Chains A and B, each alone.
Chain A
Amino acid sequence: MAGKRSTRPSPQTALARNSRDRVEVRKTYKQYVGGEFVRSESGRAYRPDGAVNVPRGSRKDLRDAVRAARGAFAGWAARTAMNRGQILYRAAEMLDGRRTQFIELLGGGRKAREELEQAVETLVWYAGWTDKIVQVTGTVNPVAGPFFNFTIPEPTGVVGIVAPEQPALLGLVRRLAPALCGGNVVVALASETMPIPALTLAEVLATSDFPSGVVNVLSGQRRELLPWLAAHMDVNAIDAGGCTPEEVAAIEKAAADNVKRVVKMPAGELSPHLITAFMEMKTIWHPIGV
């Protein structure tokens, strides 16, 4: 047998040895704002499950997210409906490609798998609505006079989404997809108790060709972030489906300051009404004459 030439192990040997007792390279979880992954500007973190540090988003993070969203709105709304549909479909592609990871994050087992499947299905379903919602909810109106009159839905603008605490992935996807489908830009508050799936979803969204700022995901404590979101004068609508009745009352009160639309539709259903809940109807008249 050949004797050892040196006492120091080669890198290959070191690696081989470690693979027997694996030391993971653990992920640092970050928020997703303006197309970038960032820690909270406050530098704070919290441990929702006692083990992993998650950014404890601040009002300034929220402020930055709204600013990023507003900056992205004109471009996103101006994209063709088909383009938005393709991007939402791409998100489904990316999510389906990470099914194993997400099933594990959601606790593994049949329930987790079903949740993941439904999340993918939700994205695919709403991807197919972008170029149809106008056809189904817009109208040409037969006014009594020589005028061409039509009504079309347009996106509202910056939509604040409060994800339900559970289910941690599907709850957010069910609110996100219809808002984005209609051409809105989003600032979403992840589940406070189980934020990891939402922050990982942000990675999926970041690789789905969404322009920066269209979707923003913050993590942290409800009581710290919600009042600022509800009172923000540059947020046009809030999806309060994930809120408690007390939270809803507080949101509605603050929303009055800039007449925000507060949407409280039930989470379970897939429905085009969830899309139009975040859209405005515009009616246009034009005379018909030689």
Chain B
Amino acid sequence: MAITKRQAAPLAKQTFEYAPAPEATDHIRIQPRYGLFVGGRMLEPHSKKRFPTINPATEQKLSEVAEADAVDVGRAVAAADKAFTSWSRLAPSLRARYLFRISRLIQERARELAVVETMDGGKPIKESRDVDIPLSAAHFFYYAGWADKLEWAFPNRRLRPVGVAGQVIPWNFPLLMLSWKIAPALAAGNTVVLKPAETTPLSALLFAEICQQAELPPGVVNIITGAGKTGSLLVSHPAVKKVAFTGSTEVGKLIQRTLAGTGKRLSLELGGKAANIVFEDAPLDQAVEGIVNGIYFNQGHVCCAGSRLLVQESIAKPLLEKLKQRLSTLRLGDPLDKNTDIGAINSRAQLEKIQGLVASGVEEGAEIYQPECRIPERGFWFPPTLFTNVSQSYRIAREEIFGPVLSVLTFRTPAEAVEKANNTPYGLSAGVWTDKGSRILWMAERMRAGVVWANTFNRFDPTSPFGGYKESGFGREGGVHGLLPYLELT
């Protein structure tokens, strides 16, 4: 019997166009102007001055927030000081209950917070939705549980809270950084005055609403908005007993100088230039994902970003091939689009800084690679960038760029990798990719960094202490150790 062979359809090249998948914003209400959250209420700024906060993806103004001056800072600290008397004496299990409430409220308002975070800061919605907000809720949940268990955290020590904490946070993970600061402080019985970054104040102001919803006693949390000057006024206020700062190493040093001789407690979480080290036996495809996540997650606006790729020379070529191929699948665009991988650069100022350093890289002789990207007309954008042929001495290998720019260097032996990785004044994090368990542990022992990620990168958890060595700062956030900065132990 003759069987006619059925011909398959001819090979047709189809491209899979992901149509825009925008996150809904119609359930969000951002007020046209905000005051300062002091003593449980929203107050007008003393100078009546306000400044705009914009959406860096569109350059549209979102709202106007208050500029806190010395009088406002004074009021906020006074409110915190007043609240401290009763808050520190409140039964710890009741303090816990407020923190549990806050955690649950963050979960209940998760989507709203994620959208506002993306609009205000420029990070992709899938990051604010899947990382920032859930971790923020988790942080409060974790520390809520410590409030009435401190004697188990530090057995045999007499514990007291420090007092009023002045906290200054950056713009790269606004609500998450707020959670890292406020949760342990409150759990330990302190009260706080927190200043969010000037380009990303909105999620902190929504958090103020959450404090009101939780019926947190007035003055326990105070949120004051402003720029560098406000921060400076806050950290130097005499009634602030403890300062916690996350930001650039430059400003960190300034604060450390300012606080010298004042007896104030200080913790700093500063910049980094982490080495992401890939050995020849690493699971390559997952290592590529780890490298991409390490430097392109949040547009590289991450203090612990794996900004230096140290790849073992024997697999440099295949790894770079895969990496470049992977870069070409990254989607840059509207941060509110659920398919976007790379969002907007947080501000014009930051964009200019990145551009300057990238130019220096080209000038110093490194080879630049950037995949084709459709850059929107308005807003601040920078494509994912890769530099090969980089020397340790180049600026792009030494200075923190805080952008989606990866510098690639090679090494031959584990000892050389250790040497190159540690050859920096920074020491926040490091990544190690290898199939061999003993080598992971050997490398981890030798990394002069506060966080070592093995076969993964940019993993955070409220139970896991985070902080730097050397000029990346001191003090830890997360875990049991995260309580220490907020306690007097005798």
Q: Mark B100-120, 1 if CB is under 8 A from A, else 0.
A: 100000000000000000000
Distance in Å from the Cβ of B299 to the closest Cβ of chain A? 28
> What mask results when residues 99 to 136 of chain A are scored 1 for a CB within 8 Å of chain B, else 0?
00000000000000000000001001101110110011
Interface residues of B in 145-191 (CB under 8 A from A): 145-149, 152-153
Q: What is the chain B residue whose CB lies nearest that of A90?
A: B104
A253-290 residues at the B interface, CB under 8 angstroms:
272, 286-290
Interface range for A? 20 to 34
Contact A288 B480 (CB under 8 A): no
Main secondary structure of the interface of B (DSSP, over half): helix
- Which residues of the other chain, A, contact B145 by a CB distance below 8 angstroms? 85, 127-129, 131-132
* Residue in B142, B152, B439 whose CB lies within 8 Å of A131: B142
A53 within 8 A of B: no
B463 within 8 A of A: yes
Structural contact, A286 and B437, CB atoms closer than 8 A? yes
Q: How far is the CA of A131 from the CA of B442 in the complex (A)?
A: 28
**B385 beta carbon closer than 8 Å to chain A:** no
> Interface range on chain B: under 10, 10 to 19, 20 to 34, or 35 or more?
20 to 34
Question: Does the CB pair A132–B463 fall under 8 Å?
Answer: yes
Q: Does B403 contact A (CB under 8 A)?
A: no
Which residues does chain B contribute within 8 Å of A128, judged by CB atoms? Answer: 96, 144-149
Q: Is A193 an interface residue (CB 8 A)?
A: no
Known: A124-B96, A131-B463. A86 touches B438 (CB 8 A): no
Inter-chain CA distance A8–B367, complex, in Å, is 95
Within 8 A of B (CB), among A65-120: 81-82, 85-86, 89
Q: Which residues of A contact B437 (CB under 8 A)?
A: 286-287
Residue numbers in A under 8 Å from B466 (CB-CB)? none
* Cα of A128 to Cα of B146 in the assembled complex, Å: 7
Interface residues of B in 397-448 (CB under 8 A from A): 414-415, 437-439, 441-442, 445
Q: Which of B142, B442, B479 interacts with A290 by CB under 8 Å? A: B442
Return the chain B residue nearest A81 by Cβ. Answer: B463
Nearest Cβ in chain B — how far from A9, in angstroms? 46
From B138, B441, B463, contact of A287 by CB (8 A): B441
**A252 and B127 alpha carbons, distance in the complex (Å):** 54
The winner among A124, A129, A148, A288 for most chain B CB atoms within 10 A is A288
Give CA–CA (A104, B196) in the complex, Å: 48
Query: Closest Cβ of chain A: how far from B180's Cβ, in Å?
Result: 16
Chain A 133-148 interface residues, beta-carbon cutoff 8 Å to B = 135-136, 148
Interface residues of A (CB under 8 A from B): 81-82, 85-86, 89, 121, 124-125, 127-129, 131-132, 135-136, 148, 272, 286-290
| Supplied contacts A136-B480, A286-B437, 4 more A-B pairs, CB within 8 Å | A82-B141, A128-B96, A128-B148, A136-B152
Enumerate chain B interface residues (CB-CB to A < 8 A): 93, 96-97, 100, 138, 141-142, 144-149, 152-153, 414-415, 437-439, 441-442, 445, 462-463, 479-480
**Can you list 23 A-B pairs with a CB-CB distance of less than 8 A?**
A81-B463, A82-B141, A124-B96, A124-B97, A125-B149, A127-B145, A128-B96, A128-B144, A128-B146, A131-B142, A132-B145, A132-B152, A132-B153, A132-B463, A132-B480, A136-B152, A136-B153, A136-B480, A286-B437, A286-B438, A286-B441, A287-B437, A289-B441
Q: Which 5 A-B pairs have the closest CB atoms?
A: A128-B145, A288-B441, A289-B438, A287-B438, A148-B441
